Amino acid sequence: MHTLLVLTSNKDRPAYLEHLRAAHLPDLEIVESATPAVDLVLGDPVLIRKVLPDLPALKWVQATWAGVEPLLDPALRRDYILTNARGVFGGLMSEYVFGYLLLRERKILQRLEAQQQSRWEPSLTGSLRGKAIGLLGVGSIGAHLAETAAHFGMHVHGYTRASETSPHVERYYHGQDLLAFAAGLDVLVCVLPNTSATRKIVDAPLLAALPPRAIFINAGRGSSVDENALLAALEQDRLAGAVLDVFEQEPLPPEHPLWHTKNLFITSHTAAPGFPRELVGLFVENYLTYFDGKALKYQVNFELGY
């Protein structure tokens, strides 16, 4: 018998419980608060962090997020298997990134303004085809972005620690080649997790290495970007535009200068929400694997941070 603690936002909890019960998992009791019997947890890392000391029987945590940094603090216990959410965010991230890229190429806001003035506006559209996109991080999310970009006829470059797994990346860069990777890009997209190696990786030198025509999109973690350097590059037209979904401080405070920075679109950490149905599906698949005594999918390495 296993005891599963479900720890999500109050808003999402009914949906999680409904989908879990509908799965009729064998030998599983579901609880909503920490008890000594709890050996499994499904939930949001920031909520799980608080109850870690109260779970003496803990064996496995399935996070509902891709980023699990709240559980990576070296002061916290690591005597359990931590799996994160993968494979469910790629499609949403592609919708986000390409929604904003097409907004720009297709001049949607400019054409909307013309419509409001009842004005025929036949100016030539741009196109993604033939442009170069660089992906900072090519895990499961980056691989989906790479496939979408290739479908639209873009040239895809990737910067990773070591892996070269996506067939849609034409050229990989690693280690010291970060600035070489940036040169010549039309679009740079960061989908890196928050680790010590990614902190402020998008800094003034990297932004300076991008062509002035380039667009930067951060849909990973706010910690990857030097926000002051980005703000300066945008205000001084050293970068054509940016889209940020994540920030050093969230929610972004009302007085923060990024809200009104030139050529910057801001979204509120909404790029790739976890839908309860899909995350329960991921848990169910992993639970049945666990139940069979096999190795779980998407295990996090506490040292690497992903």
User: Which spans of this chain sit near a second copy (rule: CB under 8 A)?
Assistant: 91-92, 94-96, 98-100, 102-103, 105-106, 108, 111-112, 114-115, 118-125, 127-129, 147-148, 151-153, 250-252, 254-256, 259-260, 265-271, 273, 275
205/273 with CB nearer a second copy? 273
Q: Which residues pair with 299 in a beta bridge?
A: 83
Query: What b/e string do you get for 110-143 counting C-beta neighbours within 10 Å, with b at 16 or more?
Result: eeeeeeeeeeeeeeeeeebeebbbbbbbbbbbbb
Contacts of 51 (CB under 8 A, 6+ apart): 5, 7, 34, 41
Cα 244 to Cα 169, 174, 175, 222, 256: the distances in Å are: 23, 24, 25, 8, 13
| Closest distance of CB 61 from a second copy, Å | 24
86/111 with CB nearer a second copy? 111
36/273 with CB nearer a second copy? 273
| Closest distance of CB 143 from a second copy, Å | 13
| Closest distance of CB 208 from a second copy, Å | 26
Cα 58 to Cα 68, 88, 187, 195: the distances in Å are: 17, 25, 43, 25
| Closest distance of CB 168 from a second copy, Å | 11
259/291 with CB nearer a second copy? 259
| The two three-digit tokens of residue 269, written as one number | 């950490």
| Closest distance of CB 282 from a second copy, Å | 15
80/265 with CB nearer a second copy? 265
